[in-house]
A and B are shown apart, each in its own frame.
Chain A
Amino acid sequence: MSTSTTTRRRGVLGTSALRPDGLPKVQGRFAFSSDAWADNMLWGATLRSPHPHARIVSIDTSGALAINGVSAVITADDVPGQLTYGLISNDQPVFARDVVRFAGEPVAAVAADHPETARRALAAITVVYEVLPALTRAEEALDTGTTPIHPDGNVIRRQRIVRGDQSFAGDVVVEGTYDIGMQDQAFLGLEAALALPDDDGSGVELFVATQWLHEDQKQIAACLGLPLDKVRLTLGGVGGAFGGREDISLQVHCCLLALATGRPIKMQYGREESFFGHIHRHPATIWMRHHADRDGTLRRVEARVLMDGGAYASTSSAVLINAVTHVQGPYRCENATVDGYAVRTNNPPCGAMRGFGVVQACFAHESQMDKLAAACGLDPVTIRLKNAMRTGDRLITGQVVESVAPVERCIRETAALPLPPELSEHPDALQLPGGSGRTARRNNVTRGIGWGVSIKNLMYSEGFDDYATARCRLANGVATLQFATAEVGQGFVVLAQQIARSVLGVDTVLLEPISTAIGSAGSTSASRQTWMSGGAVDGACRLVRERLFEQVAREHHIDPLRLTIDGIDVIDSAGDLRVSVEDASRGLVIDETFEHHHRATEELDENGQGNCHVAFAFVAHRAVVDVDTELGLVKVVQIATAQDVGRVLNPLAALGQVEGGIAQGLGLAVMEEIVLVDGKMRNPSFTDYLLPTALDAPEVVVSMIEEPEPQAPLGAKGIGEPPCISVTPAIVAAIRAATGKDLARVPVRPQDIVFG
């Protein structure tokens, strides 16, 4: 037996290092933002409009103020700074003043000594509304004859993409119109915050669950009319996000109440309010026409994308750009004609959700690829392999895909994963569609297999510099990291420790509180934090290591370039010096801060041409479903997936992202939809908005494709979004295969299968 000196140390990159917040979380000791508490605190609560569109005639708060235990009631008149906010345009009021534009829009807020007192106070506020006709159909919003419902107009953004031969007609042409329903992020940890006013009333400290502390800080400070440094944010424990915490929800209200009362204010939404209090995934209607040669070679894509942004812009313009620039999917295509619109309606506002516009585009283009396969007499795998994009191919925006692009390998490796066994003749009821309801009969169950493949951009696009900042301090063999990267559950806290251990040869890595005390890390979204904040932590640790090497080199009169880290030691690669990092850093404090910026991108021109994206990741999904064709019930049996990840930095965490994303894509495929009738939500609860449970979770078989990405600081691509993108069309394709139905919308409902 030989002893290896290359045994990987515990907790370094490439190992399944355990997350530092794991034990506190399982023991109930981890402080989520909803657990924040302060002496003398009051409870804040929000009054919301019951109407999707109405003029506010009057607001009388006297009834609420007369209730014992109520300390403050605030409305739009009490906003000292900017009256509106927004991630891209400031079009959303802190409180509605003259008009409400969606059912659930905030109108007033109260502070009281008990949640029940606050609820009664809300009920005692009298708002007189003059109800207006609601604009609830996206198509109507495009009509120039429709009265604008907002000073900024009803079209949030239009973007065309025109490339290649605009009159090209293929030998084979297929078309379809696809609808995607409104999905909710449904993070478990409801919106919550605690605001502490400064003693002199000149500023405020906010503990909040969010995805981007510095963006919140900027928007809050503007609305409070305070300088940035008077609004200090610390991340409260975040119970999931998935895009739903990018926008401001209760932050400004909570701070306003704290400043108005001079007391700490705790605000937390219930589940119903959460459905009204954050944005959702855009419902979309997408028409596509694909042109191909007889052999299945894709030649032209035509598309019209219409996304319902709801009442306020949020990130709609960026979501639209993602959708229109991804309509070709992960396939070569030289000719394209795309017209995209994000419009304003009196529906609830929509914005970021995992997949960010690409989910919608992917359902349409993958449905089209199956139609094209059928029209060309090919199977779903062959047509996808035939057109699979490679590094160096051009997108319909003219941008060259410089990223590693193993699309073909994703498809082949997925196809090679084992299929599940056939459903037995006498299955347990729990294995049947319908589950424990025992509603499916074995004889009515048909199995189907379907495919989906996707491309997803990573990081922010269109010229945005979403940099990330990190600081590393080394003293006595212990590294301390500081960053403002929102840990929302994805596990950046463990990745940061792994990076420091690998770069610096330390075992103990401490983490400072996540706050605005350091520069921005950008948003925990767009699959970007491993790349961006990972790059920042890596950069800071490398600067510290350089300083350490200089110190050791000075002491030993050697060239610092000869020094390297081996395990937990600094060694001379050209000599026999070996000194532990702990000894080498004794008595020193080395402190470095690093900003990581990705390469610059461009805005699209009027024809949708330009290098607007930073990088791309790819994934393939194969779904196996059992369908009760008589009752329209679906059981997703298995999802096989091969994902282009660049490099696996933590196998356990990576698997968790893949499995978790697949469950959300399954939800969109067969369960999850916010049902709107005349602009009002009909199912804002976990009783009526269905989420995948442990009985709905399919078997997931995974192949991680590791081809390190040269552009990425750690060789690793972001892995958060791809799992939830093409799994949805794969499941729907499998249901089509089992039923022969067209199924042009998601989620697929029982009636779509039975009567569709």
Chain B
Amino acid sequence: MLNYIWGGLIVLSLIFALSSDINDFARDTYRNGTPLPVTVSFPNEYDSEARRQDVRVRLPADVYQAHFGLPQTVNLAWDGTLVQNEDGRELRFASGADLPEPLATLCARTGDEDCRGPTAGDPTLGSWTTAVAFRPVRWVKMDAIASAALDFAETAVTLALGLIGGLGLWMGLLKIAEASGMLHALVRVTQPLIRLLFPQVPRDHPALGMIVLNLSANMLGLGNAATPLGIKAMQELQTLNSNEDTATDPMVMLLAMNTASVQIVPPVLLVAIMGLQINQLFFSILITTSLSLIVAIVAAKTLGRLKRFRQS
């Protein structure tokens, strides 16, 4: 199943990226080869000798609309620089974060932080109407998926390495808990309840204790502790597994319960985002998470019996 989903994600990204780029091609979204008309004025009078001078670049809404064929209501204007030498003139202007598409992409592709492109014609004293020839833009989405793949591969390593400290700490503490008999006591107290969900795990097995700790950490919203505890529970369940690379029923159950997330306290990140508003959401989150937990448990139980997913 994961094979199909994984492959599907990759193939779908290619299809979507390709169709989006071909659509750009067909619609000529970026008006490749057609310079963008702008009006340039010189605050300090035009100086034909100066290599660089300050300018004010204006792009009226109707011109933008006519050029790109997209609705635009705001007149755009930027402070910029006119660079001139023997080879010609180049116009540079600051590309702020508020540029409308497709101009934003055009600018992003010109190299540095500013929008830049060669201009034709001779500047006149007052206001000079010219056009900026941007570098042609093609295959935007194809480039995007390729660089996203690399970025996320790096993110994966950063994430995993970031876990080392927390993992080490919790696994060390759990080892003490095991050696001191604490875990065993926890297993004995909770197993009548927890073994209803994990009947395949033998009585008094330490995996039950890890599962209880993992689920409690989840409920309290202690995400940083829940992951190491869940991993430890998986390791304990793996000791009961006769087929090393295949998940067992209890493993799938634990995973389903974790992905459905049994949270009484919402995740720290959400509390930070929502501020005081989060208080109103206590019941909606509690009801939703409880319902989805029940669905996850039922799904894990019933799907495991299907022939397709049965353990061979």
A binds B: no
Binding site for B on A (CB under 8 A): none
